[in-house]
Amino acid sequence: MLDVRQFKESRGITSKEMVEVAREQFPKYDKYLHSKVERPNDYGIRPVLALESAWESAFASTVPQCRRKDNRRLKARIQCRMTEREYERLQRRFKAQGFDTMQDGVKYIIGKYLEESK
């Protein structure tokens, strides 16, 4: 037996979407009946197997993918916005100073700033 509420929450779908799928096979299925189907212990109403199968096939692709574990050595992140002109100037300056990446240059600047504040 399908736990409708848990199925809905695990797939990140709304009751309205489930009702729309149910109406394709059962035209008189509505949000009021769906509310009762979500609470079978209170109302004693469960969906038929055909409806469970329809929901599983309609919402099979909406299962969220697990995010990959962040395996970075440096986990904290800093971000800022700037004009393209400033960004290009900064890139040229970092390259001239011998930094391979933008991250190396920014890390160097932050390190200097933090040492000055000691």
Extents of the domains making up the chain:
4-62, 84-116
In sequence order, the 6+-apart residues with CB closer than 8 A to the CB of 10 are 63
For all residues of the chain together, what is the average pLDDT?
Answer: 90
Query: What are the pLDDT digits (tens) for 14-39?
Result: 999 999 999 999 999 999 999 999 99
Least Cα distance to 21 among 43, 39, 37 occurs for 37
Percent of the chain with pLDDT over 90: 72
| Confidence tier at 64 by pLDDT (50, 70, 90) | low
What pLDDT, in 10s, does the model give residues 42-60? 999 999 999 999 999 998 8
Of 19 and 2, the structure prediction assigns the larger pLDDT to: 19
Residue whose pair of structure tokens reads 């890139």 in the numeric block = 91
